[in-house]
Structure 1
Amino acid sequence: MANRTTTPPKTTPAPCQPCGGTGNVPITVRVGRKHRPVGQQDGLCLNCFGTGTDPNA
């Protein structure tokens, strides 16, 4: 009898929902006494910690 091994199909991990798989999310920058928004900068996604894959998948 031939010994046959099968490998499971490789699946790609699902992208993270908040960052869309990029690992970065926009953070609003606020300045001044009234904390008015002046722009946005990139921040690390706290859901996937910058990996871009869904941790619950």
Structure 2
Amino acid sequence: MATRRTTKPPKNTPPAPVVCSPCDGSGMVAATVRVGRKRRPVGQQDGICLNCLGSGTAPDA
């Protein structure tokens, strides 16, 4: 009698980390730069995400 070929059970993989919503997992957020007396916007500057502190994963997960 021939041996039966069985499939291996799937390995337990750890769950994927939850992505931070303000920075979408990049760790960087854009902040508008304002200048002048009337505080007009002139551009954007990248900064570290204060929600996840640059890690890109949600802090409450």
**Regions of 4+ moved over 3 Å:** none
- In structure 2, stretches of 5+ residues that fail to align are 1-11
- Tell me what 1:31 maps to: 35
TM-score (normalised: structure 2): 0.76
Q: Aligned match of 1:13 in 6, 12, 17?
A: 17
TM-score (normalised: structure 1): 0.80
Q: Could you give the per-residue CA deviations for residues 10-46 of structure 1, whole angstroms, max 9, x where no partner exists?
A: 1221100000000011100001111100010111101
The residue type paired with residue 47 of structure 1 is N
- Tell me what 1:5 maps to: none
Q: Which of these two proteins has the greater Rg computed from alpha carbons?
A: 2
SS of 1:48's equivalent in the other structure is: coil
- In structure 1, stretches of 5+ residues that fail to align are 1-7
- Tell me what 2:45 maps to: 41
Q: Identity over the aligned pairs, expressed in percent?
A: 62
- Tell me what 1:3 maps to: none
